[in-house]
């Protein structure tokens, strides 16, 4: 075969994203154990698997399923699909894929990864192109996670604090029919797509209105419900964000009056940092005169850096965040900064997350979407910039690792 014909075949193989039909396999015989190579950005680097020579090492591109889920023919809720448009798959399955994408010219895939299976022997129901919810899988290239390029930002969680009823309308339960209520036990928790406590017409009669994120949590096929606000709370990265936490009525004891000319001591929780003899406080600015405190970086002193390198990373990131805050001119709310294990895993972070060493922060800015914040700093930000779909649109990820971006 001529070199020109080989090159043409490589390009065709790299660009194949539409379905190739072949006889169906028995689903019981289908084993989702595959490998996969890098995306189609450079066809010269993509070689059909049967053409690897002895002096060219095989590079693997793999879709790894991280929790029980479904493959879908369209990027919508599973409840909107016909049975033949979805395929159940278990956590731990790996699949060699030819290509993947999280967006195209028309925009994002509503929080899904679109992928094309590489090996024809493992097409599902004779089709190679499917979607998977992006919080249920990751893409690996030669053993390294390449998507998500950073962790999925934390989600809003509705936590039920007392035995209660979910309701279709924000009324007394005696005013609702049996089909409009669902009993929920204390301690239950649900991932949310969104929540609200008021709209343009006013509040919801002391109820929280919420939309469930996961299709399997839908109640009678419905995602939107109300709950009495005294029976539940909304959390983000384990912090309660609604009902808005009340400031204690009692005033803390004042600190001792400093000696004349001495700086006023900080009043937050005290702790030590590696490589430093001084005592630090959670309400102390990380950089002198700065807007970001050690409490924000360390989750109020509950995640103290273990090494001098992690301390240096936090200092370096604080300097860049201060520049961004000065530019935008609004307060930044830190939702996650230094996040060692097991907290990184609990938040859905990837194994090589920049949060692990204090080099990354997830932030939100009132009145801005994550994309708007990202666009404002993109031209000069020295590291990674990431934005997220769905109920994480208000979050932007900023880190001081290698310069890259995702989610755009």
What tens digit of pLDDT does each residue of 318-344 get? Answer: 999 999 999 999 999 998 999 999 888
Return the domain boundaries, the chain: 3-147, 156-242, 270-406
Q: How far is residue 369's CA from residue 390's CA, in Å, rounded to a whole number?
A: 11
**Is pLDDT above 90 for 35?**
no
Q: Find residue 182's DSSP bridge partners.
A: 166
> For residue 168, what are the contacts with CB-CB under 8 A and spacing of at least 6?
176, 179, 180, 181, 222, 225, 226
pLDDT of residue 261: 62
Around Cβ 135, how many Cβ atoms within 10 Å?
23
21: three-class secondary structure by DSSP: coil
Give me the chain's average pLDDT, please: 80
- How do residues 161-176 score in pLDDT, each as one tens digit? 999 999 999 999 999 9
Topology given in CATH for the domain delimited by 270-406: Muramoyl-pentapeptide Carboxypeptidase; domain 2 (3.30.1380)
Q: How far is residue 315's CA from residue 298's CA, in Å, rounded to a whole number?
A: 12
User: Global pTM?
Assistant: 0.55
Least confidently predicted of 125-139, 250-264, 374-388:
250-264
The 8-class DSSP code of residue 288 comes to T
Which of 113, 116, 90, 93 shows the shortest CA–CA distance to 36? 116
Contact 136, 65 (CB under 8 A): yes
Around Cβ 290, how many Cβ atoms within 10 Å?
15
- How do residues 143-164 score in pLDDT, each as one tens digit? 777 787 665 556 788 999 999 9
Instruction: Compare 353 and 156 and report the one with higher pLDDT.
Output: 353
Task: With cut-offs at 50, 70 and 90, classify the pLDDT of residue 282.
Answer: very high
Average pLDDT over residues 185-208: 86
**Is pLDDT above 80 for 67?**
yes
Q: Where are the beta strands (DSSP E) in 54-163?
A: 61-65, 69-72, 86-89, 94-101, 103-104, 107-108, 112-117, 129-133, 137-141, 144-147, 156-160
Instruction: Compare 402 and 53 and report the one with higher pLDDT.
Output: 402
Q: Residues, the chain, total?
A: 408
Instruction: Compare 234 and 40 and report the one with higher pLDDT.
Output: 234
Contact 215, 79 (CB under 8 A): yes
**Is pLDDT above 60 for 118?**
yes
């Amino acid at each position: 075969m001529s070199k020109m014909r080989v090159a043409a075949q490589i390009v065709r193989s790299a660009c194949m994203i539409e379905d190739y039909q072949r006889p169906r396999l028995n689903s019981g015989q289908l084993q989702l154990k595959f490998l996969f190579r890098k995306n189609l950005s450079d066809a010269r680097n993509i070689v059909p698997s049967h053409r690897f020579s002895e002096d060219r090492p095989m590079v693997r591109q793999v879709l790894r399923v991280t929790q029980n889920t479904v493959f879908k023919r369209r990027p919508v809720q599973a409840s909107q699909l016909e049975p033949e448009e979805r395929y159940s798959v278990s956590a731990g399955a790996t699949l060699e894929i030819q290509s993947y994408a999280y967006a195209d010219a028309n925009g994002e895939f509503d929080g899904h990864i679109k992928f094309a299976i590489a090996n024809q022997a493992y097409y599902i129901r004779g089709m190679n192109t499917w979607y998977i919810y992006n919080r249920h899988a990751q893409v690996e290239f030669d053993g390294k996670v390449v998507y998500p390029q950073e962790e999925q930002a934390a989600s809003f969680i509705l936590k039920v604090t007392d035995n209660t009823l979910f309701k279709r309308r924000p009324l007394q339960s005696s005013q609702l029919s049996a089909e409009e209520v669902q009993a929920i036990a204390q301690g239950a928790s649900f991932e949310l797509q969104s929540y609200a406590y008021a709209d343009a017409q006013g509040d919801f009669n002391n109820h929280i209105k919420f939309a469930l994120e996961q299709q399997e949590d839908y109640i009678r096929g419905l995602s939107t419900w109300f709950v009495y606000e005294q029976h539940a709370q909304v959390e983000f990265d384990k912090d309660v964000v609604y009902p808005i936490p009340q400031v204690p009525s009692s005033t803390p004891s004042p600190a001792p009056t400093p000696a004349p000319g001495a700086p006023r001591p900080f009043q937050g929780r005290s702790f030590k940092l590696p490589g430093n003899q001084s005592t630090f406080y959670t309400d102390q600015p990380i950089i002198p005169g700065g807007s970001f405190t050690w409490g924000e970086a360390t989750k109020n002193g509950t995640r103290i850096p273990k090494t001098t390198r992690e301390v240096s990373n936090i200092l370096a990131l604080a300097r860049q965040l201060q520049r961004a805050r000065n530019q935008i001119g609004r307060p930044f709310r830190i939702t996650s900064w230094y996040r060692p294990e097991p907290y990184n895993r609990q938040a859905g972070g990837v194994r090589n997350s920049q949060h692990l060493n204090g080099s990354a922060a997830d932030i939100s800015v009132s009145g801005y979407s994550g994309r708007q914040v990202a666009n404002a700093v993109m031209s000069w930000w020295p590291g990674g910039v990431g934005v997220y779909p769905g109920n994480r649109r208000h979050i932007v990820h900023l880190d001081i690792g290698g310069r890259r971006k995702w989610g755009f």
